[in-house]
Amino acid sequence: MPQPTNPNKKRIIKDYDTLPEDIITRVKMEYPYGFADNLVSFTNKEGKRVSALPFETEDIYYLIRMTVQEARQIISDDEDYDDEGNLRDDYAAEDEESGESESRSSYSEPADDSDDPYDDY
């Protein structure tokens, strides 16, 4: 399983559709060419094989649960990606205009005890 750069970071496994909008924005910027080729696989505590997209913030290391098919469908349904599955060139400009780029650098995620930490997965 991939490891965070800081081993003391909180580790969370979450579904894509339950992520806050600001985290989704950051994930898109991190993966402008889609998610499917960046998925990692691991075995959960029930012995089932799970795939997820790794994503790291300043405070939290996420594994965003999704299958290859779900990853492709998310990109296909998202208007921010073009027909080839690449983030639109104007997306970053829209992001900067909305002020998201400034908030990204100082973002601090609130603790959410309802998330599944790795230890419980």
Q: How far is CA 71 from CA 25, 53, 56, 93, 117, in A?
A: 15, 9, 18, 24, 22
Q: How far is CA 115 from CA 27, 28, 34, 74, 75, in A?
A: 18, 21, 24, 21, 24
Q: State pLDDT tens for residues 8-29.
A: 889 999 999 999 999 999 999 9
Compute the distance between CA of residue 47 and CA of residue 14 in angstroms, rounded to an integer: 18
- Please report the pLDDT score of residue 109 as a whole number: 40
Instruction: Kindly list the domain boundaries of the chain, sorted by start residue.
Output: 10-98
Q: State pLDDT tens for residues 71-92.
A: 999 999 999 999 999 999 888 6
- Whether residue 111 is predicted with pLDDT greater than 90 in this model: the reply is no
- Whether residue 34 is predicted with pLDDT greater than 60 in this model: the reply is yes
Q: State pLDDT tens for residues 40-64.
A: 998 888 999 999 999 999 999 999 9
